[in-house]
Structure 1
């Protein structure tokens, strides 16, 4: 099989959509479909079942994908290692994260990165929300996976890696705790606990709004410096606080409840780095992280 045939099969198997596979590979419209059809004719087997509504792997296609994917990744890793030696991707890369779920993704990526670039160490550090960009700007970090939006002249806002539904962290005895969900207008009915600090106002407003969509004021009654304080203050009945819904899996404890915010936009998490810090190490880690979120069959 030629390289372009392998890449076409892998892209379609992982996207289960010919147009998305074509866009992913940066090819002209219809090119991936033509490549797969030609390969199927040459092999004498059907690799994908196609209808007007869906694309699915046949048993033969599944077996081919399962054999090709790890071999192709190994070729990519060996090639990357050779490029690393040539380009000098060595030293230490310092990566920050702002939440436990972001930490999980960074840790997974760091493991793959070390395998591909054995001469480059990776150090990880949690970033406190009270100073979202401080460690990056000071040079303490080279790269960061954090909540968006980010609109800073000295920072590059890279790709959005994943998004999370929002929820409201409330005291266990709060009336909201008995609801299946709440809406943004409900924030006007209860005091909000926020993280204080030096983060830009636009960023803080995206996490802790000051008005509801209909313009009703939202009371910011108390502030905390660290996330652990927010948990304790909410459990004590001092207020509620917006969070990612996934926080319930990491921070559940007596005295609090997590209630979905039904009409809130999702929290987006993306990569950021300094404009003057666009190094080969940073680019390699960004590519590795993006690959970990895209090379699984959907």
Structure 2
């Protein structure tokens, strides 16, 4: 299997759209279709289900993607390290984040990155729930560490860097504040805040529209920043599920943090504009993975 064939297959697995795949790789749609057909003939099974409305991976295609992607990333990273060693990495890298302790983690990564790439300057800056995609698309940051999986055609998403449990932030006067833990069903018992100007699918990745038992979850006031969210919760205007580290780094007398015993882990990933991917971005994400490998719970504090 040629490297270009692998790139086309993995890009189509990301985009699930032949036209966008062709545009992203600067090839014709016919080239993408021919490559996939050739791979399917070689493997002897369909890799994608194609209809007039959508493209999806088959079970065999999903398994092939899972097998190929780590090896492909390793090849790219090896090439990047060789290029970095031969040419050096310079300039500036602007890294955004959402959260509190996340900024401290990124400064740690930036220090480790700068120790290797001394000619590259790293600027770490806070992003808001309401504008992190705009910051990327407006070329105000190069990549952002986010607590959700983004599914936008122009945005690349890294594998999960690390994850942590979820807790429910409530007013210290709320009845839940006296509970040892709550469940996702309890989200239907009060209003849940929502990030302002957040795409719907991202909002649902943080708070589903219904509980596992089918009860609707009522949404309350909107917020743009972490501090705005905390002030609304402290005032008794609603509640919101947050990553576990908030209980240590965002302590306030008017807020309590209650474990969600069946809550999904909050995963952290890097995102960047697909067309703006650089050696700096790939090298920084690799250093971040190295830091996490040495400390799997980087936000422990």
Pairwise same-fold verdict (TM > 0.5): yes
How many angstroms does 1:116 deviate by? 0.4
Give the equivalent residue in structure 2 for 1:171: 171
How many angstroms does 1:151 deviate by? 1.1
Q: Which of 107-116 and 128-137 deviates more?
A: 128-137
Q: State whether residues 102 and 146 of structure 1, in contact with CA within 8 Å, keep that contact through their aligned partners in structure 2.
A: no
How many angstroms does 1:225 deviate by? 2.5
Give the equivalent residue in structure 2 for 1:96: 96
Give the equivalent residue in structure 2 for 1:292: 291
Give the equivalent residue in structure 2 for 1:31: none
Give the equivalent residue in structure 2 for 1:274: 273
Q: How does 1:48-197 map to 2 (within 5 A)?
A: 83-84=83-84, 86-197=86-197
After superposition, the Cα gap between the structure-2 partners of 1:220 and 1:111, relative to the gap in structure 1 and judged at 3 Å, is: same
Taking structure 2 as the reference length, the TM-score comes to: 0.69
Give the equivalent residue in structure 1 for 2:20: none
Give the equivalent residue in structure 2 for 1:202: 201
Q: State whether residues 195 and 227 of structure 1, in contact with CA within 8 Å, keep that contact through their aligned partners in structure 2.
A: no
How many angstroms does 1:104 deviate by? 2.1
1:235 aligns with 2:234: yes
1:251 aligns with 2:250: yes
Q: State whether residues 90 and 119 of structure 1, in contact with CA within 8 Å, keep that contact through their aligned partners in structure 2.
A: yes
Taking structure 1 as the reference length, the TM-score comes to: 0.69
CA separation in 2, counterparts of 1:84 and 1:244?
35
CA separation in 1, counterparts of 2:232 and 2:199?
23
Q: Which of 138-147 and 82-91 deviates more?
A: 82-91
Give the equivalent residue in structure 2 for 1:261: 260
Alignment partner of 2:152: what SS?
Answer: coil
Rg larger in structure: 1
Alignment partner of 1:188: what SS?
Answer: helix
Q: Which of 161-170 and 287-296 deviates more?
A: 287-296
Q: State whether residues 235 and 256 of structure 1, in contact with CA within 8 Å, keep that contact through their aligned partners in structure 2.
A: yes
Question: What are the Cα deviations for residues 176-218 of structure 1, in whole angstroms up to 9, with x where unaligned?
Answer: 1110000000111111122212x22111111132211121111
Q: State whether residues 192 and 239 of structure 2, in contact with CA within 8 Å, keep that contact through their aligned partners in structure 1.
A: yes
Alignment partner of 2:181: what SS?
Answer: coil
CA separation in 2, counterparts of 1:218 and 1:295?
39
Residue segments in structure 1 that go unaligned for 5+ positions in a row:
1-24, 27-78
Question: What are the Cα deviations for residues 209-251 of structure 1, in whole angstroms up to 9, with x where unaligned?
Answer: 2211121111112222222122111111112111112101111
CA separation in 2, counterparts of 1:101 and 1:95?
15
Give the equivalent residue in structure 2 for 1:43: none
Give the equivalent residue in structure 2 for 1:45: none
CA separation in 1, counterparts of 2:173 and 2:188?
18
After superposition, the Cα gap between the structure-2 partners of 1:296 and 1:125, relative to the gap in structure 1 and judged at 3 Å, is: closer
After superposition, the Cα gap between the structure-2 partners of 1:247 and 1:281, relative to the gap in structure 1 and judged at 3 Å, is: same
Q: CA RMSD in A?
A: 2.2
